[in-house]
Chain A
């Protein structure tokens, strides 16, 4: 294994969560997520020789991962709404289900999160994901390629839309308005 490969592997392992989360944001079902994660990894490796160490690795990684994911979403049946979670028992939102009320509540929250994500366009998903990741507006601006003030405006609008969705039954998933609290 050459030094570049070693370096790339180390960085990839350190930031593998980005690949996993971007894949989970843009693809559903185990196989689709795996395919997307692999495609992101491939594109990262291809682009790695042009990566400048002076730049923040996570920002560079987010750009590639999101660009690949948006293309992937478009290529898979034009981003058609994916099938329900019930058809994907391997989905993280359905994991660890047992009789525990708290666990069910957690699962419901993740389902609601997925429902919210799926209602947005690919670019809005990128914004939403970066906001959920608690990335700074500066970093979001750098990743998306818009100004910081534009990021702030778009995030405000996005959050307002999400609030409206969450407040409306059946708009943000399976009856999200009333779930057991305390998870």
Chain B
């Protein structure tokens, strides 16, 4: 005799499966496993430490910037560069603090959708933090030599034309990066855009994005 499986039969199958899982005892939930807990790393821990390093780096930039604009306040180029470093340091600290605060909000015991939303916010914060810390270096890497040149000149006059050409090159690079980002966002380049986002967000958050894609679909049903 044959028949069609009905949806309620699945519950019967589920009971069978449950019984078999218990019988199989394939999974040992013994206490000895708990001893290994401390050795296991949280997937978000590398991100947290990375942000902590970024925060310390931001402090160092602030100290350097403050030293420059207080010590050489009469040298306009150095004063401006000191302020730029100061602002950069503040920005990196703020974004790092936001990411670290969001990491502390990740609690596995939250309702499933709420946790997924928090992961989304964390991912966004991490991407912004990466951009804030990284992109300005198109220009910032030229600050040390520019400061040295300005100090060597020891006058309030502007920087040599050659130094400005470095900054112009950095500006073009920054603009090019922005244009490339905009270009990658266009329809048909979703894979490239996703890879760029993954790269910016770091390994720790790749999993989170995949989960959140499913969340969006689920919430919109």
Contacts and interface: CB of A to CB of B under 8 A. Distances in A.
Mostly, the A contact residues are helix
Contacts of A9: 31
Given A145-B115, A166-B4, 5 more contacts: A46-B108, A68-B108, A70-B214, A95-B23, A123-B112
A15 to B, nearest CB: 10
Interface in B1-44: 1-7, 9-14, 16-18, 20-24, 26-29, 31, 33-34, 36-37, 40, 43
Contacts, number: 165
A121 interface: yes
B13 A113 contact: yes
Contacts of B113: 123, 144-146
Contacts of B40: 42
A83 interface: no
Interface residues of A, number: 75
Interface in A78-106: 78, 90, 92-93, 95-96, 106
B152 interface: no
A144 to B, nearest CB: 5
Contact of A23 (B14, B27, B37, B114): B27
A95 B24 contact: yes
Contacts of B221: 154, 157
Interface in A33-60: 33-34, 37-38, 41-43, 45-47, 50-51, 60
